[in-house]
Structure 1
Amino acid sequence: MELDRDLAMIQEVRDLVRAANKAQKVLGAMSQEQIDRVVAAMCEAGARDAVRLAEMAVEETGIGRVEDKVLKNLFATTYLYEHIKDMKTAGVVAHDRQNGVVEIAVPMGVVGAVSPTTNPTSTALNNAIIAVKARNALVLSPHPRSKKCTREALETVRKAAVQAGAPEGCLGCISDPGIAATEELMRNDGVSVIIATGGPGIVKAAYSSGKPAFGVGAGNAPCYVERSADIAAAAKLIVQSKSFDNSTICASEQSVLCDSSVCAKVRSELEKNGAYFMSDDERVSLEKILLTPDNGMIASSVGRSAETLAKMAGFSIPKGTLVLVGKIQGIGKGYPLSYEKLSPVLAFYEVKDWEEACSHAIHLLELGGLGHTMALHSTDERIIMEFANRKPAMRILVNTLSSLGGVGGTTGLFPALTLGCGTGGGNIISDNLGPQHLVNRKRLAYGQRDVEELKRRLLSGTNIAAAPSASPVEKTAAVREQEQQASSRNAADEQGMSEEELVRRIVGEVFKKLER
C-alpha cells in the first residue's frame, strides 16, 4: 500500500538523520588537519570513479552525454578540491587584531540536500564534499529517476570518508525517495540547513520548511553577441557551451541576441560549429515536444541530443548537428523558445544595437531567469560595464561559455553546481555555494573602549562628516575664519547647557549637515 511506503520512507529519513546527528558531533570535534584528510580522500575516490558514475547516470536517466558527465564528476571532486584544500573551516578562521575581533568557524550541523536528475552524480559528490569540509553531516534525497546513480556516488565518497577517519553515518542517502521522504527531510528537527538543487517546486518547498535553506533560481540565460566581438570565437564557444552534456547546466545559454550588422556572419559561424537553423515549421514542431502549453519543460525532452529531439519532432537534420536554433521575434507568451530549455535548443534574436539587446536581455531574465546568468561576447569595455550594471543577473560572463563559466569552470568564480541568484531569484545568496556558506561564524570580541569614551564619541559629533560636495573647492581664509568663530561661539554656548539640551543641539546639527 502507498501509505505503508510513505511510512517506510519517513522512518528511513528519521533513522538517517539520527545517525547523521550522532556522526556530526564527531565531525564537529575534528581539527582542520583531520577534516582535510577526510576531504582529500573523498575527492580522490570520487575522481577515481568518475567514469563509472557517469555511465551509470546516463544509463539510468537517459540524460546527457557520458564524456561530459565524466568532466562534471571531475569538476565536483578534483577541481573543487584545488579551491577548498587550503580553506579554513575549523577553529579560528580570521583575526582582526586592530579591532580585537576573532572569528571561529562552527559547523551548522546536519545538511539535508535534494539533488536533480540532470546532474545527479556530480551534485551528490559536490554537496557531500562541501558539507564535510565544513564539518557537517549530510543526508541526501535523490531524484526518483536517478536514485541508483546518486546513491552510488554518495556511497563512493562515504566509504572513502570513513576509511580516512570520518564516523559512520556522516553521509546518508534515501534509498526510496519520494514526496513523503523529501518533506520529512526538510521538516525534521534534526536537520539544520537545506540545500535544494532542482526545479522551482523543490526550492519553494525548501524555503517553506521553516529552516535556513540554500536554493537556486530558474535559469534563462541570454547571450549577446555584440558587433565588436570575435565572431568566430564567440560562435564556437556558444555551441560548445549549449551542447555540453546536452545543456543540462542551468547556466547554459537559452537565447542568442545578435547585432544586425554581424548577424549573417554569426549565423554562418554557428553553422560551421554544428548549429542547425530550423525552418518555422520545424521550430513549431519542436516546440510541441519541448514545452507544455504553459511553457514548462517536458521531461522526456530534457537533456536529449539535437538528433534525438529532431527525430521526436519529426524532421531531419544534418549528421553531426549539436544545437538546434530557432529564429523568433518576441518574448513571453506565444514564443515558447524564449523560455528556459534544458536541451540543446537556442532562440535566436536579431537586434539593431546594444541598447535593444540590453532591453531584450532584461525581459528574458524577468521571464524566468532573474538573478541567474547572462553571457556577453564583446571587446567594448563600455558596453560590457553597461550590461554588468543594468542586468538583473548575478553572473555576467564575458567572452566565455555560459554553462561552464557560470559554474566556475572557465572563469574565476567559485566552482559549484548550486548557483545562488540573490533576492531577485528568491535566494539568500547571490554567489556559487561552497563550504564557506555552510559554517556559522562565532565572534570573540574584546573591549575597545569604556562607556565614558563611547559617550564622548557619540556626543562630540566629530565622527560624522558632512557629505562631500560634488566638486569640492579649497576653503578661503574668510570661510575658515567664519567657521572658527562659529565653533568658538558653540563651545561657549555649550558650557551652560544641560546634557539633554546638548544632545538635542548636536542631533539638529547632524541633520542640517545631512540635508546639504
Structure 2
Amino acid sequence: MEMLDKDLRSIQEVRDLIKKAKEAQAKLAVMTQAQIDAIVKAIADAGYAHREKLARMANEETGFGRWEDKIVKNAFASKHVYESIKDMKTVGIINDDKVHKVMDVAVPVGVVAGLIPSTNPTSTVIYKALISLKAGNSIVFSPHPNALKSILETVKVINDAAVQAGCPEGAIASMTVPTIQGTDQLMKHKDTSVILATGGEAMVKAAYSSGTPAIGVGPGNGPAFIEKSANFELAVKRILDSKTFDNGTICASEQSVIVEACSKEAVMAEFKKQGAYFLTADEAVQLGKFIMRANGTMNPQIVGRSVDHIAKLANLNVPAGTRVLIAEETSVGRNVPYSREKLAPILAFYTEDNWEAACARSIEILNGEGAGHTMMIHSENEEIIRQFALKQPVSRLLVNTPGALGGIGATTAIAPALTLGCGAVGGSSTSDNVSPMNLLNIRKLTYGLRELEDLVEQPTVQAAPAVATISQDDKEQLISMIVARILEKM
C-alpha cells in the first residue's frame, strides 16, 4: 500500500477541508440573522462550559502560562466576545440611510484561514470561530504543532455545539496534520478568501506574502510610562497584574517601564514592595543571554514560563515569591534583548529626565520593535496623555490600565479581541481590534440624487455694456454746438 509523505498528506487534507468549508459557507450565506446568531451562541456557550478543561489541556501540552489564567482567557474569548457581538447586524441589510438613499448589505468574505499560536491556542480558536461564523463565513484552522491536541479538542467542542444549532458540517474545521507545506496550501488556495494570522513574525509575513488578503498581527513590544503625576502604587499593581497574567503570553502586555528621574526611587521601591526583583548588572547580562536566540528571535525556552523556571534556566538566585524580573537598561536595539518583546515575566526599566525624553524613548523602543501595536501610560496629566496620543506610533494607547487586559478590550471599552491589528506602520492591513465587521464585505446600494445637467457648470452670461445717459440741457447744448460748426463750414 502506497503511503504519502506527511507534507503531501497535509496538503491533501487542506484541499479536502477547504472544499467542504466552501460548500458549508454557501449554506451559511443564505441563513437568516437569527439562524447565524443561534450558531454563534452555541459556540460561545460550549467554549465557556469547557473553559477549564481546555485551559488545563493547553497548559499541560505547551508548558506556557498558567492554566488558571487560561481559564480567564477562554471565558473572555467566549462569553465576553459573544456579549460584544451578539446584537451586531451581519446578515442582509445592515444599514439604510433614507436621507441620502444609501443602503449597506453585508456580504460574507467566504472561507477564512485561521492560524493559531501555541501561546493562546484554545482561546484564539474560540474567538476566531465566533467572529468568522458571526459574519457568515466558514473557517479552517492551521494549528501550531506544539498545541495540536488542545486545539483539536477545542475545535471539536465548538463544532459539535455549532452543528447541533444548525451549522453546516465543514464550516468549522482544522488540519490534523500540520506542516509548513499544508499551511502554505491553506493560505494560497484559490478558495481561501482571507487569512487571520496570529503567530510568530515569520508566519505573519508569510500570510501577507501569500497573495491572499490577510489580517495579521505584528510583534508587541509595548512600553509603559509611569508619569510623575500617576498613582505609583496603582500603576505598579496594574503593570505586575498584566505582566504576570498567564506569564506574559499576551502580546499587548508591558515589555518595558519608563520613569522620570524624579520618580525613579519611589517607583523602584513600589515594584520591590509588590514582588518585583531588580537584577544586578551581572545578573542582567546573565539572563540577557537567554532572552534572544542567535538569529535574533525570542527564545521559546522563556516564553510563558514562570520566574522560577527562568531563574533556574539562567542559573540565577532570586528571592522566593518573586513575580517579575526587572533589568535597568539605557539602550535600544536588535542586539539589546531587554528592549525587545519578551513574552515572559521580564521587564526593562528606563529612566529619563522628563516626560518629553520618556516620549522620545517610547518612540525609539516601538520603532525598534512593536510599531503599530500598543503602549501604556499611567498619568493624571491630561495634556501629557494627549501629547503621547498624538505622537506614539501605536494603534492602542492605554491609560491607567493593565496592558494585557486593556489591549484585548477586557478592562477597556474597545472591541474585545485576540487579534490586534497594528496598522500600516506595523505592517498590518488594519489597526482595529478585529471583529466580525473586519470579515465582511459591504455592498453599497445607492440611488441617484443628481442628473448630468446638475454637474455641468452653466456658462456665465455677460452683462451688456452700460449706455451713457445725458441730461436734456446737455442735449440742447450739444445740438447747438454741432449746428454752429456746420454753419461755419458753409
Letter in 2 for 1:112: A
Partners in 2 of 1:494 and 1:412 — Cα distance? 66
The alignment's TM-score, normalised by the length of structure 1, stands at 0.88
Partners in 1 of 2:158 and 2:237 — Cα distance? 36
Q: CA deviation at 1:333?
A: 4.6
Match of 1:34 in 2: 35
* Contact 1:220–1:368 (Cα < 8 Å) also in 2: yes
Letter in 2 for 1:492: Q
Match of 1:324 in 2: 325
Match of 2:158 in 1: 157
Distance 1:68 1:453, change over 3 A: same
Distance 1:213 1:494, change over 3 A: farther
Q: How does 1:128-143 map to 2 (within 5 A)?
A: 128-143=129-144
1:455 paired with 2:456, answer: yes
Partners in 1 of 2:323 and 2:152 — Cα distance? 31
Deviations 1:9-47 (A, max 9, x none): 001001100110111011111100110011011100000
Unaligned runs of 5+ in 1: 461-489, 496-516
Match of 1:387 in 2: 388
Distance 1:62 1:494, change over 3 A: farther
1:492 paired with 2:452, answer: no
Distance 1:139 1:230, change over 3 A: same
Letter in 2 for 1:208: S
Partners in 2 of 1:360 and 1:60 — Cα distance? 38
Deviates more, 1:227-236 or 1:319-328: 319-328
Q: CA deviation at 1:492?
A: 2.1
Q: Secondary structure at the match of 2:212?
A: coil
Q: CA deviation at 1:3?
A: 6.7
Q: Secondary structure at the match of 1:299?
A: coil
Q: CA deviation at 1:493?
A: 6.5
Partners in 1 of 2:241 and 2:387 — Cα distance? 26
* Contact 1:231–1:269 (Cα < 8 Å) also in 2: yes
Q: CA deviation at 1:190?
A: 1.5
Q: CA deviation at 1:380?
A: 0.4
* Contact 1:295–1:339 (Cα < 8 Å) also in 2: no
Match of 2:367 in 1: 366
Q: CA deviation at 1:138?
A: 0.3
Deviations 1:303-322 (A, max 9, x none): 10111101111012122111
Letter in 1 for 2:303: V
Partners in 2 of 1:178 and 1:317 — Cα distance? 40
Match of 2:474 in 1: none
* Contact 2:94–2:105 (Cα < 8 Å) also in 1: yes
Distance 1:188 1:392, change over 3 A: same
Letter in 2 for 1:440: N
Partners in 2 of 1:36 and 1:310 — Cα distance? 48
Q: How many residues align?
A: 464
Q: Percent identity?
A: 48
* Contact 1:326–1:346 (Cα < 8 Å) also in 2: yes
Unaligned runs of 5+ in 2: 466-490
Match of 2:232 in 1: 231
Q: Secondary structure at the match of 2:255?
A: strand
Q: Secondary structure at the match of 1:129?
A: helix
Q: CA deviation at 1:169?
A: 0.6
* Contact 2:334–2:368 (Cα < 8 Å) also in 1: no
Q: How does 1:100-111 map to 2 (within 5 A)?
A: 100-111=101-112
Partners in 1 of 2:384 and 2:258 — Cα distance? 14
Match of 1:514 in 2: none
Q: How does 1:174-189 map to 2 (within 5 A)?
A: 174-189=175-190
Match of 2:146 in 1: 145
Deviations 1:61-84 (A, max 9, x none): 000000110000000000001100
Letter in 2 for 1:388: A
* Contact 2:111–2:191 (Cα < 8 Å) also in 1: yes
Q: Secondary structure at the match of 2:443?
A: strand
Q: Secondary structure at the match of 1:341?
A: coil
Q: How does 1:430-509 map to 2 (within 5 A)?
A: 430-456=431-457, 491-492=461-462
* Contact 1:260–1:353 (Cα < 8 Å) also in 2: yes
* Contact 2:296–2:335 (Cα < 8 Å) also in 1: no
Q: Secondary structure at the match of 1:130?
A: helix
Match of 1:511 in 2: none
* Contact 1:112–1:193 (Cα < 8 Å) also in 2: yes
Distance 1:491 1:152, change over 3 A: same
Q: CA deviation at 1:455?
A: 2.0
* Contact 1:394–1:421 (Cα < 8 Å) also in 2: yes
Match of 2:342 in 1: 341
Q: Secondary structure at the match of 2:267?
A: helix
Partners in 1 of 2:141 and 2:179 — Cα distance? 12
Deviations 1:366-401 (A, max 9, x none): 001111010000000110000000000110000000
Deviates more, 1:136-145 or 1:274-283: 274-283
Partners in 2 of 1:81 and 1:494 — Cα distance? 73
Q: Tell me the C-alpha RMSD between the 2 structures.
A: 1.6
Match of 1:469 in 2: none
Partners in 2 of 1:178 and 1:199 — Cα distance? 15
Distance 1:384 1:300, change over 3 A: same
1:58 paired with 2:59, answer: yes
1:209 paired with 2:210, answer: yes
The alignment's TM-score, normalised by the length of structure 2, stands at 0.93
Partners in 2 of 1:29 and 1:452 — Cα distance? 41
Partners in 2 of 1:379 and 1:114 — Cα distance? 40
Q: Secondary structure at the match of 2:456?
A: helix
Partners in 2 of 1:364 and 1:97 — Cα distance? 48
Partners in 2 of 1:423 and 1:131 — Cα distance? 23
Q: Secondary structure at the match of 1:165?
A: coil
Match of 1:191 in 2: 192
Q: CA deviation at 1:259?
A: 1.0
Q: CA deviation at 1:221?
A: 0.4
* Contact 1:128–1:171 (Cα < 8 Å) also in 2: yes
Distance 1:306 1:397, change over 3 A: same
Distance 1:394 1:2, change over 3 A: farther
Q: CA deviation at 1:450?
A: 1.4
Distance 1:29 1:236, change over 3 A: same
Partners in 1 of 2:179 and 2:334 — Cα distance? 33
Partners in 1 of 2:19 and 2:261 — Cα distance? 60
Letter in 1 for 2:215: F
Match of 1:86 in 2: 87
Q: CA deviation at 1:281?
A: 1.3
* Contact 1:57–1:149 (Cα < 8 Å) also in 2: yes
Q: How does 1:347-426 map to 2 (within 5 A)?
A: 347-426=348-427
1:258 paired with 2:259, answer: yes
Q: CA deviation at 1:295?
A: 3.4
* Contact 2:14–2:186 (Cα < 8 Å) also in 1: yes
Distance 1:319 1:422, change over 3 A: same
* Contact 1:64–1:245 (Cα < 8 Å) also in 2: yes
Q: CA deviation at 1:263?
A: 1.0
Q: CA deviation at 1:294?
A: 4.5
* Contact 2:218–2:428 (Cα < 8 Å) also in 1: yes
* Contact 1:187–1:210 (Cα < 8 Å) also in 2: yes
* Contact 1:277–1:324 (Cα < 8 Å) also in 2: yes
Letter in 2 for 1:18: K
* Contact 2:279–2:326 (Cα < 8 Å) also in 1: yes
Partners in 1 of 2:335 and 2:189 — Cα distance? 43
Q: How does 1:241-256 map to 2 (within 5 A)?
A: 241-256=242-257
Match of 2:219 in 1: 218
Match of 2:473 in 1: none
